[in-house]
Amino acid sequence: MTSLATSETYTAGLSRDQLLAAYRTMLLSRRIDDREVQLKRQNKIFFQISGAGHEAVLTAAGMVLRPGHDWFYLYYRDRALCLQLGMSAVDMLYSAVGAARDPNSGGRQMPSHWGSTALNIVSTSSPTGTQFLQAVGTAEATMRNEVMDGARGTEVTLVTTGDGTTSEGEFWESLNTACNLNLPIVYLVEDNGYAISVPVEVGTAGGSISRLVKGFPGLYIQEVDGCDLLASYEVMERAVRYARERQGPAFVHAKVIRPYSHSLSDDETMYRPAEEREADAERDPLRTFPAWLVEHGFATDEDLAVIADGVEAELLQATDDALAAAQPDASTVYHAVYSPEVDPTGEQFDTEDDPQFSGSETTMVELLNQCMRDEMRRNPRILMFGEDVADASRADVLEKVKGKGGVFKVTHGLQKEFGSNRVYNSPLAEANIVGRAIGLALRGFKPVVEIQFFDYIWPAFMQIRDELATMRWRSNNAFAAPVVIRTTYGGYIRGGVFHSQTGASLFTHTPGLRVVCPSNALDASGLLRTAIRCEDPVLFLEHKHLYRQTYNKAMNPGPNFMIPFGKARVAREGTDVTVVTYGATVQRALAAANQMADEGVSAEVIDLRTLSPWDKETVFASIRKTNRVIVGYEDAQSWGYGAEIAAAIADECFAYLDAPVMRVASTDTFVGYAPQLEDATLPQQETFRQAYRKIVAY
Ligand SMILES: Cc1ncc(C[n+]2csc(CCOP(=O)(O)OP(=O)(O)O)c2C)c(N)n1
Ligand SMILES: [Mg+2]
């Protein structure tokens, strides 16, 4: 071609071929959006959100980063980036129609929720802001791998976001840790000036996120016109290099536009005046970049037409293929809620009848600690972190002190044995703990993290319910985060409102999560081992009141002692009434049952041990024998965990019942600190005794 391009023409070092290829990516991205808009209007797809206006900086990012080597935590606008990394138009349209063969999620997620194991694009979810801490966890995995290997690598993690999403607390938590650990992570803020209808200055003090983050130590901050491919390429290249060279985290603030409203469900003319939208249109990279290519002689109008024709042909074929693709069969909805390969309810997790006892009887705290020690020796990928879990954070004091090891000493001595790269304190931030754990688990680490008190798990609830529990299902089994979360819970310790909470049902109500609650030291050992070795996320509830009770002590059952999930224990056999319970109420139900024996009543006490899944067979078999049942639990009675057990019993055992299903539970209040208040709130031995009397008299 005749070229006007001179050696002086600034191209950010890109060749003509690279420039034209970049244009093709940008155009393809925009045209897929256009096609989806059309398909949505025809009711052939069910949701559309565009990447329009963001294409230049995203294509530039895709040119700088390495698919399958670097790691990607993206959001819904990142179509051009995914295309540049290697995703195809038809893969995107398979998502749009909800096809079974959609490689992003198998038709489980809305379109523009990316995911690719080959490209290292971690399954995108919908909550704004949950990606940051996971990305930090993934960058942390790079760092911890490099410490373990003693060699520096080159991979970096990219996390992208809109401007509005930077108002989420987790954004700030993540920057705190990224900078504190000097992680190889690159943030890309795609600032289109709006979060749906809310302009940027409403959410961001002063209106500029890059100005706000200036105080973070070591953070390399760049601002750029994200509609300018060349400027974006140059800035992304510098930012990524900074992280690749292990200088620390980088932060790119790119100003982009949003020409297609927030989504097809939104009409921005309702809240943006015409002149503002026209000014944006002037900056549209699909207008300015091809004009620049022609102006500087990198392409003729004919060259651009050839590219456009190629894009249209690809899109036509992709549309035909996608529209012909079948939806997933309805029966597949159960696939990959949990690991399809490793079944923690199975026989390979049942060594309960073969304990190798050693030592003298000891407490639940001690056996939990010994279990974790054994597992950490067995599996070098286990990491342990949380608030106060380390012995001492500062290296220079570690050898001089006995070590903290958790506020209840469950992790005592683990940092001393396994080192500070495997056992360490987190900041005082619960979402940080779980979010990072997810990012680490996705990289093949096995995080066993601690939430210090159940009462304070709520900042992490979004990460647990929307992220941890959904990861495997939403990615159609492509990604999984088998994290173990240990947390202390429960009352009977004069702990008042905020150190006594139970509330297990909020977690058992979350598909994808296993929930475990041992009532004694031996079960704690066997269940924690199963939790650590299985491939599902587990919430492991440790009752503070049971940590050091002499009645539940046991000898160490050895390093291969496992209790499968979903296998209850008959704590006491009986014939007149069944009590189904778990945790701290097991002992109360048992003591009351022993009292009732004097009154001629024979009570059977079943300790569920795992709350999700739970052992229906053992419970139902017992009820068929006793014909009477009490469900005992420490949660507040209404909507508590036992309500579901009672409903299942009513469904399955109605014909066997000689009395209504009875519940023994806490009052529908909070737990008071004063002993009289606490005693009145929580189910006591006497509460069980009254219930036994009442149900046998029915
Ligand atoms: C936690 C959460 N809150 C609210 C929403 C609904 N929502 C989806 S996108 C969005 C605006 C995001 O704005 P921004 O981060 O600027 O990204 P943009 O869409 O402008 O690219 C909102 C409020 C959500 N998905 N998740
Ligand atoms: Mg925005």
Look at residue 416 in the predicted model and tell me its pLDDT.
98
C-alpha span between 254 and 239 (Å, rounded): 12
Q: Is the pLDDT of residue 403 over 50?
A: yes
Among 47, 53, 136, 139, smallest CA distance to 96 is for 47
Q: Ligand 1 centre from 565 Cα, in Å?
A: 38
C-alpha span between 315 and 322 (Å, rounded): 10
Phi-psi region of 106 (alpha: psi -120 to 50; beta: other; left: phi over 0): left
Tell me whether strands 382-386 and 446-451 are parallel, antiparallel or unpaired.
parallel
Instruction: Please choose from 54, 124, 128 the residue to mutate so as to test ligand 1's pocket, defined by most ligand atoms within 8 A of CB.
Output: 128
Which amino acid does the sequence have at 528? L
- Would the pTM count as exceeding 0.95? yes
Q: Tokens standing for 16?
A: 């003509």
CA–CA distances in Å: residue 645 to residues 20, 550, 612, 640, 641: 63, 29, 11, 10, 7
The band of 8, judged by pLDDT with boundaries at 50, 70 and 90, is confident
C-alpha span between 74 and 267 (Å, rounded): 24
C-alpha span between 371 and 486 (Å, rounded): 13
C-alpha span between 29 and 12 (Å, rounded): 22
Q: Is the pLDDT of residue 694 over 50?
A: yes
Which amino acid does the sequence have at 58? L
H-run or E-run covering 688: helix 685-697
Question: Phi first, then psi: what are they for 329, rounded to 5°?
Answer: -65, 140
Q: Tokens standing for 193?
A: 């000036």
Average pLDDT over residues 383-410: 96
Q: Ligand 2 centre from 604 Cα, in Å?
A: 60
Q: Are 536 and 510 in contact (CB under 8 A)?
A: no
Helix (H/G/I), strand (E/B), else coil: 265: coil
Q: Strands across the sheet with 569-572, in order?
A: 569-572, 603-607, 577-581, 629-636, 662-666
Q: Is 51 in the pocket of ligand 1 (CB under 6 A)?
A: no
C-alpha span between 686 and 642 (Å, rounded): 19
Q: Is the pLDDT of residue 4 over 80?
A: no
Q: Tokens standing for 590?
A: 């048992």
Q: Is the pLDDT of residue 633 over 50?
A: yes
3-state secondary structure 298-366: CCCHHHHHHHHHHHHHHHHHHHHHHHHCCCCCHHHHHCCCCCCCCCCCCHHHCCCCCCCCEEEEECHHH
Q: Whose CA is nearest to atom 12 of ligand 1?
A: 195
> Does 3.40.50.920 match the CATH number of domain 569-697?
yes
Q: Are 221 and 184 in contact (CB under 8 A)?
A: no
Q: Whose CA is nearest to atom 17 of ligand 1?
A: 162
Look at residue 41 in the predicted model and tell me its pLDDT.
97
C-alpha span between 645 and 578 (Å, rounded): 13
Q: Is the pLDDT of residue 6 over 70?
A: no
Q: Is the pLDDT of residue 5 over 70?
A: no
Look at residue 2 in the predicted model and tell me its pLDDT.
45
Q: Which CATH superfamily is domain 16-328 in?
A: Thiamin diphosphate (ThDP)-binding fold, Pyr/PP domains (3.40.50.970)
Which CATH fold topology does 347-556 show?
Rossmann fold (3.40.50)
* Mean of all residue pLDDT scores within the chain: 97
Q: Is 194 in the pocket of ligand 1 (CB under 6 A)?
A: yes
Q: Is the pLDDT of residue 662 over 90?
A: yes
Q: Tokens standing for 87?
A: 């995703």
For ligand 1, what atom is nearest to the CA of residue 126? Answer: 25
H-run or E-run covering 659: none
Q: Tokens standing for 331?
A: 């029966």
- The full set of domain ranges for the chain reads 16-328, 347-556, 569-697
Q: What percent of the chain has pLDDT over 90?
A: 99
Average pLDDT over residues 678-687: 98
Q: Is 112 in the pocket of ligand 1 (CB under 6 A)?
A: no
C-alpha span between 467 and 461 (Å, rounded): 9
Q: Is the pLDDT of residue 581 over 50?
A: yes
Contacts of 179 (CB under 8 A, 6+ apart): 216, 217, 218, 219, 248, 249
Assess whether the region 16-328 and the region 347-556 belong to the same CATH fold.
yes
The band of 1, judged by pLDDT with boundaries at 50, 70 and 90, is very low
Q: Is 499 among the catalytic positions?
A: yes
3-state secondary structure 604-621: EEEECCEEECCCHHHHHH
113, 499, 543, 545: the active-site residue: 499
Which numbered ligand comes closest to the C-alpha of 128? 1
Q: Tokens standing for 108?
A: 């489980």
C-alpha span between 395 and 376 (Å, rounded): 21
What is the per-residue pLDDT across 56-112, written as a single tens digit (0 to 9) for each?
999 999 999 999 999 999 999 999 999 999 999 999 999 999 999 999 999 999 999
Instruction: Please choose from 165, 192, 253, 261 the residue to mutate so as to test ligand 1's pocket, defined by most ligand atoms within 8 A of CB.
Output: 165
